[in-house]
Amino acid sequence: MIGDGQGFARAGSGRREPKVEVRGQAMGPENTTKFAMSSGEVGVDRARRRRFLRRVLPRGGPGISPCPVPLGAGHERRHDEVRKARCVPPARGHEGGAHGAMVAIPAPTRHRWPRYHPVVPPCPGLWPVVAAVASPPAPVHVDPFWIEALSSPWAKLLALVWGAIWGSFANVVIYRLPRGMSVVSPGSRCGHCGTPLGVVDNVPLLSYLVLRGRCRHCKQPYGVRYVVVEAMAAALSMSLYLADVVVPLMQGEGIGLATYALDFLFAWALLVVTFVDLDVWIIPDAVVLPTAAVGVVVGAFFPDVLGRPLVPSLVAGVGAYAVFYAIRWFYLRFRGIEGLGLGDAKLLFMIAVYLGPAGVLWTIGAGAMQGVLVSVPLLLSGRELANTALEEVHGDDPELGHEDPDAGVTGRRVPFGPFLALAALEFLYFEPFIRAWAHRFLGVAW
């Protein structure tokens, strides 16, 4: 009976009720009676006891919070009356507790905590593979030494210098490759007096600034484009290092030095193609084809470095080449002129390998639009787009060496390679934004 101080225990049963922790002290049946009795003697029947508790105890309100861990968790005890505890404030005047004190009482077993049933894989050996595919990749653990070293200002400065060095080599390739000269020997020399340049005269960016853009020997000025190419290559290297190495490193995605090297090779090739095409209207196969081959090999053996599926990229590249070849054939067949050169088609194949089908579509569309926006005002203003170096390279083709200024806008030619390269660089840097823009405004999910 409850009145004899035995709590909720059945008379003579010998069964002990579970205890509940309340603010660091154990509370059993002998303490529960103080707060549970409010209307006389209650029978020992379990059903009557539950009805009594539901009547005298509040169902919710301030101060009532479920216990975060069910009592007896981890043990199979089907007949325990206490599965969880609720904390309720006792009524005013109850013995043993002040107004507002929190006490715990056994809750009814109607609302039980859900049991955790672990999923046992049918094939334990295959389960790690399935879990790795189904779950998001875990952050890659990188030694703090490498995190600090690769994200330090010295590492970023090294990336800047590295890009400037390759920019200096790009100047050599831009000048010598279309003219059939070796890019290795002889060494650099002044274009006016022919004096070989020393190491001090060949420091990227700094030599031009120290010498004020003039030869140390003959005092003749260098072209400003040399320092522009070096600065552009340095900027490409620095920005790609931040995007491919520093940012993924801070986000726990590992070290992306291989991705940085591949992206910088692609950007450097686009830089060379741009200035060669502006100079002599040629897209050199010696730059485009080896760069595309490197992308194919890396995509075949190291797909994570390329970051794109290789087969769709190759299909897109072949398709773009076929489209440009068909346009060229159509112009030759019906108008007797080259509408597009095969160099542009090969450039698109290289772009497809590195940027995938979406990159090719963006490059063609954005390149054509930007080409029209830039070239039409220049042609209307009467400016000559053909470089005088065309006579040296295309001496046997007078149409490329000189253009008729009275031919009008439609009768003059514009190099398409620089605009394709510009659009490809835009997709390389801003791919997430371009995809989001296409999905929002064009309804295209690339």
293, 213: one domain: no
337, 416: one domain: yes
Distance of CA 326 to the CA centre of its chain: 36
DSSP per residue over 274-324, as a string?
HHHHHHHS---HHHHHHHHHHHHHHHHH-HHHH-S-HHHHHHHHHHHHHHH
Q: Assign residue 61 a region (left: φ > 0; alpha: ψ between -120 and 50; beta: otherwise).
A: left
Which residue in 31, 40, 38, 39 sits closest to 8, CA to CA?
A: 31
CA distance 227 to 247: 29
445, 326: one domain: yes
- Compute the Cα dihedral for 372, 378, 382, 386 and give only its sign: negative
36 Cβ contact list (under 8 Å, min separation 6):
2, 7, 8, 53, 56, 105
Phi then psi for residue 118, to 5 deg, are -65, 140
Q: Is 13 among the domain residues?
A: no
Q: Is 120 among the domain residues?
A: no
For the chain, the farthest-separated pair of C-alpha atoms sits apart, in whole angstroms, at 120
315, 373: one domain: yes
Q: For residue 295, give its domain range.
A: 283-446
Write down the pLDDT at residue 441: 80
Q: Is 219 among the domain residues?
A: yes
Q: Is 72 among the domain residues?
A: no
Count of H-run helices and E-run strands, the chain: 16, 4
220, 295: one domain: no
Reported pTM = 0.65
392, 247: one domain: no
Write down the pLDDT at residue 53: 58
296, 338: one domain: yes
Domain count, the chain: 3
**Residue with token string 């929190």:** 102
Q: Is 138 among the domain residues?
A: no
> Per-block average pLDDT, block size 10, for the chain (446 residues)?
43 47 45 44 56 55 43 44 44 45 47 39 39 43 79 93 94 89 80 74 82 78 87 96 89 84 96 91 92 95 89 93 88 75 90 94 93 82 60 49 45 79 95 88 73
**Neighbour count for residue 333 (Cβ, 10 Å):** 8
Write down the pLDDT at residue 385: 59
179, 250: one domain: yes
Q: Is 269 among the domain residues?
A: no
